[in-house]
Structure 1
Amino acid sequence: MPLSATRSKHRFTVEYPINASPKILYPYLASASGLGHWFCQKVRLDEQHHFIFTWDGQDHYAEMNSHRTNRSVRFVFLDKNRRHTPDANFLDFTIESSELTQEVFLRVIDYSEETDEIELQEMWDNLVQNLREQVGG
């Protein structure tokens, strides 16, 4: 299929204040057990260290392709055969803190086929509320 016939991707970016230190927050973003508490029904690792995210009974495979401890993590989604695809969906979590105010923010970049900004905003608002409940923030 020519590239022009594929669905276009949408980059959705949102920031949330989180009342927790980066050291407390990071494991909830970068580990299967941490993500499983707030992000989806279940998260596990396979033998190749691919993350398997389960939503609505469906498995989705991703690879953590970059991370900086207590700062950021990026998951790039793979096809059902656990292979890389061109222009793959990805999720990027970045923890930013203000030296001046000591505030901590979580920036989320969701790059996918989903284009409904209102639906994405509501989904991430709910997910981050779940995360805040887990980290006490």
Structure 2
Amino acid sequence: MSLHLVCPACQAVNRVPDERLRDAPDCGRCHRPLFSGQPVALNRSEFERQLEKSDIPLLVDFWASWCGPCRMMAPAFEQAAAQLEPHFRLAKVNTEEQQELAARYAIRSIPTLAIFRNGREIARQAGAMGTVDIVRWARSAAA
């Protein structure tokens, strides 16, 4: 079986066989890695593309630059990306820059983590968490 994965660099949709997922696949269009072990910053259109076209769960950190707990959690979220990829796409959405997304998903407190699969939200957790808790929560919620 193949999965559709959206390239975080050029937004091209790539078809990757399940068995090649762990082989560090590159984008067929721009030839950059589909996974870098780092969360990707998304604007509205990039968020929509990841949400609608990718077959793996999208784990989003809704955050703001002025938020102390958000800044505290950032390194843990980066470490979680290294552990959860390639079975998840980890992304960051700055709620100050992407107010429409924050309003659409009723983000009332930050940081808020949300997992999306097949175009819809399947889990949400508000508040800062450590790496171990992020990984455990994401795997449990997406199971």
- Which structure would you say has the larger Rg? 1
**Which has the larger share of strand?**
1
TM-score by length of 2: 0.27
Higher normalized contact order (CA 8 Å, seq sep 6+, divided by chain length):
1
- Normalising by structure 1, what TM-score? 0.28
